[in-house]
Amino acid sequence: MSYETAVAQMYALGHELAQTPLHKFDLAHMRVLLAALGHPEKRFPAVLIAGTNGKGSTAATLAAIVEASGLKTGLYTSPHLVRINERIRLNGHAIGDDDFAILHDVVGRTAERLVAEGDLPWHPSFFEMLTAMAFEYFANSRPDMVVLEVGMGGRLDATNVVEPRLSIITDVSLDHQKYLGETIAEIAREKAGIIRQGGVVVTLPQLAEANDVIGHAILDAGARAVNAVPYVPPISPGSASSLSATEKPGIWNRYPLEVMGQRIMVESPLVGRHQLRNLALAIAAAEELHEQGMAQITPETIAQGIRQTRWPGRFQVIPAGGGDPEYVLDVAHNPAGAWALRSTLSNVYEDSANNREITMVFGAMRDKAIREIGEILFPIASHVILTSANNPRAATAEEIRDAAARVAAGTDLQEAEDVAAGLAKAKKLARSNGLVVITGSIYIVGEAMRILGIRI
């Protein structure tokens, strides 16, 4: 089987969320598939990370720390920006096309046999297939640690079949209400499903409704809570926040911190104050892994790993040049992410002397809180170009306009049929000192990166 055929067959299964609830939520079926594969999920140690916002940044940072410590490190994240291979990484490198195709063949044939024999009622979903492939890849590669980002929720997510060394819960907010519940408490209950009986949980205080649910889940499981608060700096980092992001050699979150009894300098390329919480969670988790016997993790390797973290599409700044304006790409796809983006733009580009007029290229999935996101982001832009990603869940530009009609008064709203057309319009609208912000969805950002030739 070729790589192209494997990818085509994966997408033929439908989008990860374009499934009936019966197909989406059943760990019993995932366990049947993994049992037939020889339980790869039991053949590597893992950290499991759930949350609404920040889980990807936390996962990428923790994986970079473990790798910097000289340990063979796996990382599984979702969704991807440009290529599906990005989701499965070993020591920072995406799975190769040949390995992807082989694993797809192995898992796919196993699934087909199970369906034919009546052990599975239907073929595994896109995400179940990909998760099983990732588990097979890691089991065969024998890493020292695998960092797993939950796809959605936690309790019934396909990743939740592992027995993690520790669990991490990042910030919980409203998202995926159709699947996870309409309230913060209901969503937190799904996220807390990754907590294990007698296990270890790394988290931070957050919204009261989430705190209550997570706290009771920890008590009910007899788990040990690790509070990451000591690793959140008491003051905002640096006095250089008035400089543009490109004037800060890629590092905005820079501050001293005591870790494991030693003072280190945290220098993170992940931009924004909201990242301070994600960094704290990753540091606390790294220290916990050290306490569990991974002596290779030291204050020095924690600092090194943070510096070396790469997590594209999260307030990623592309400097102006070659006739192009300066771009900021950010995957903000819910109200909490939108507030984080707005806050970071304000802090990074706060010098009014720069007079940075913002042109925004915006697209979103139909099931997202488009009106609320528009209320947060559109007022800061002089021009908003509404567009649509090549995805069956994507809202059309007209649908976005209708959803945001009440909140966009005074903002120049324009439409573009696709991301390429949106970028072309933005380039014309951006003044010599203008800034183009591309946001609203990971799919919008991913397509923009392909068009702009930005390497992952």
Q: Identify the bridge partners of residue 362 per DSSP, sorted by sequence position.
A: 386, 439
- Token representation of residue 308: 């070396």
pLDDT value at residue 235: 58
Provide the terminal-to-terminal Cα distance of the chain, rounded to the nearest Å.
26
**288 backbone dihedrals φ, ψ, rounded to 5°:** -65, -40
> Lowest-pLDDT range, 14-23, 133-142, 377-386, 432-441?
14-23
The pLDDT, as a whole number, for residue 79 is 92
Predicted pLDDT at 356: 77
pTM (2 d.p.) = 0.91
Predicted confidence at residue 406, as pLDDT, reads: 74
- Round to whole Å and give the CA distance between 161 and 327: 40
Predicted pLDDT of residue 276: 94
Buried b (16+ CB within 10 A) or exposed e, 379-407: eebbbbbbbbbebebbbebeebbebbeeb
Domains of the chain as residue ranges with CATH:
3-307 (3.40.1190.10), 316-452 (3.90.190.20)
Residue 79 preceded by cis peptide, ω within 30: yes
Q: Poorest-confidence range of 168-177, 225-234, 297-306, 409-418?
A: 168-177
Which amino acid does the sequence have at 374?
Answer: G
Pick the more confident residue, 37 or 346.
Answer: 37
CA atoms within 13 A on the CB side of 152: 16
Give the whole-angstrom CA distance, residue 228 versus residue 231: 6
**Percent of the chain residues past pLDDT 70, beyond the cut:** 90
Sign of the CA dihedral running 397, 401, 402, 404: positive
454 CB-side CA count, 13 A: 19
Q: Output the CA–CA distances (angstroms, integers) from residue 155 to 49, 51, 76, 192, 195, in the order listed.
A: 12, 11, 17, 7, 9
Which pLDDT value is given to residue 408? 58
